[in-house]
Amino acid sequence: MNTGIIELLAFGLAAIIAGFFLLISMVRELTPNQRRKWFLGIGLGTGIIAFSLKIGLIVIFSLFPGPMLSLFPEREHELASVIASTDQRNDSRIFKTPYTWQALPTSAPYPEDNPPTAEKIKLGRKLFFDTRLSADGTLSCASCHVLTDDKGGGDGLTASIGIDGKQGTRNAPTVFNAAFQKVLFWDGRASSLEGQAKGPLINPIEMGMPSLDHVVNTVRNIPEYQALFSSTFPTRPSITIDTIAMAIASYERTLITPDSPYDRFIRGDSSALTDKQIRGMALFESTGCILCHSGPNFSAASLFSDDTPYRIFPSIPNTVYEKRHRLNGDLGAAPKDNGSDRGVWRIPSLRNVTRTGPYFHNGSVSSLEEAVRIMAHVQLNKAISNRDTDDRSIQWLNSNKRLRVESHQALSDTEVEEIVAFLESLEGKLPISQQ
């Protein structure tokens, strides 16, 4: 029994004894009538008994906290510690937080000058898989953007292999749900799918065509394409690089995955996510991941966001991760003449991220768990630790003579696993007809 409890017990016993004698004195002096003595005695006595019981309970709870607390139902954790039993799967278990979660639309938006048609989508699919659009006839768009669930719209390589076995320096971004992004490529240099489709065709270490005119001439000289383009674009006299790109972009706008467990959960199926994924979802918000990976496509670079599509990466300098994974070897969209060693990159979508490794612009990280740790540390300045003491920071603010205490400053291994479990809920499948 600690000192505080002993002092409380001593005070309580003294108060009870004093109250007892005070009760006797008041009954004798204030109420000469026998009947009124009983009423006053019962009233005051009840108060003393209630006070005595409270003191007793406090002492018992202090001496035996475990057994006493086990008599009461265990409370569910809140936010990052949310656990809902399987027999309580209903809307009431969905916690309220400031952030509004959104499901992915079931169709992608398109520009006014390129509305989708069945013919255009069919033509775009044919072009997407056609290796004749590369200089050596060995590569197509689908070579680096594999439309299978296990590849997730990427190729699974650290950096993609182009013509003549040339390897690039950047990891292939997924084509899945690219239709919802407002800028494309890792450095965001294309502002539409139509613009993006032209880039790899003439990149010397990708498909390697000498020029866009050469691409057009190649397509024009394939007899089957002449009829297809004429029927698909009846108002355009001939095949152009624009109509080629418009067809490919129209097909790519069908490569969306809006039926993930997360989407079903947001649309009302409260059983779509596991309890572990719910905890990871809460951690995703409370840790700060939503500052960049927000909206239905989990990217501030999406068409749903008014935020800047770019972030400095890594934003925290000189970390062990920066050196280990060569994160500054390529600076992306950062100005080349400002002397900065910080890269600037488009914020990627996290949909199907469990399938699109290895991770980051250089494909230097093979584990999603490790990628989560890196992002938490180099972007959000979180410690990666299982020690409780690392989860809270205390700073003295001399200007106003106050302490600032900040909690949730670290991610434990368990919390990393829970965030990854939530990211698994973003896995969706393409319709078989589009593969």
**What pLDDT is recorded for position 168?**
95
End-to-end CA separation in angstroms for the chain? 70
**What pLDDT is recorded for position 86?**
29
Beta strands in 229-342 (DSSP E): 310-313
Asked if residue 343 lies in contact with residue 335, where contact means CB atoms within 8 angstroms, the answer is no
pLDDT tens-digit map of 47-61: 667 666 666 666 555
Instruction: Compute CA distances 8 → 46, 59, 69, whole Å.
Output: 21, 9, 21
Distance CA 315, CA 377 (A): 9
CA dihedral (212, 217, 220, 223) in degrees, to 10, reads -130
pLDDT of residue 81 exceeding 60: no
Burial category of 110 from C-beta neighbours within 10 Å (exposed 0-12, middle 13-18, buried 19 and up): middle
Distance CA 230, CA 245 (A): 15
pLDDT of residue 178 exceeding 70: yes
* pTM metric for this prediction: 0.76
Mean pLDDT of 199-209: 98
pLDDT of residue 290 exceeding 90: yes
pLDDT tens-digit map of 391-407: 777 778 889 888 887 77
- Token digits for 113? 């000058």
Mean pLDDT of 176-205: 98
At 410, give phi and psi (nearest 5°).
-140, 155
pLDDT of residue 285 exceeding 50: yes
Mean pLDDT of 199-211: 98
> How many CA atoms lie less than 13 Å away from 80 in the CB half-sphere?
17
- The string over 394-416, giving b where at least 16 C-beta atoms fall within 10 Å of a residue's C-beta and e elsewhere, is eeeeeeeeeeeeeebebbbeebb
**What pLDDT is recorded for position 94?**
45
**Which comes out higher in pLDDT, residue 262 or 95?**
262
β-sheet bridge partners, residue 393: 406
Residue with tokens 């006797």: 24
Q: Average per-residue pLDDT in the chain? A: 86
**What pLDDT is recorded for position 424?**
99
pLDDT tens-digit map of 147-161: 998 999 999 999 999
> How many CA atoms lie less than 13 Å away from 404 in the CB half-sphere?
8
Catalytic residue positions, numbered: 206
Distance CA 90, CA 379 (A): 35
**What pLDDT is recorded for position 45?**
64
Residue 69 pLDDT level (bands cut at 50, 70, 90): very low
At 33, give phi and psi (nearest 5°).
-70, 130
pLDDT of residue 18 exceeding 70: no
pLDDT of residue 75 exceeding 50: no
Mean pLDDT of 105-129: 98
**What pLDDT is recorded for position 3?**
53
Across 150-164, 237-251, 366-380, 388-402, least confident range: 388-402
**Which comes out higher in pLDDT, residue 417 or 83?**
417
**Which comes out higher in pLDDT, residue 120 or 149?**
120
Mean pLDDT of 279-293: 96
Triad 404, 4, 47: Cα angle to 5°: 110
**Which comes out higher in pLDDT, residue 62 or 55?**
55
Distance CA 260, CA 255 (A): 14
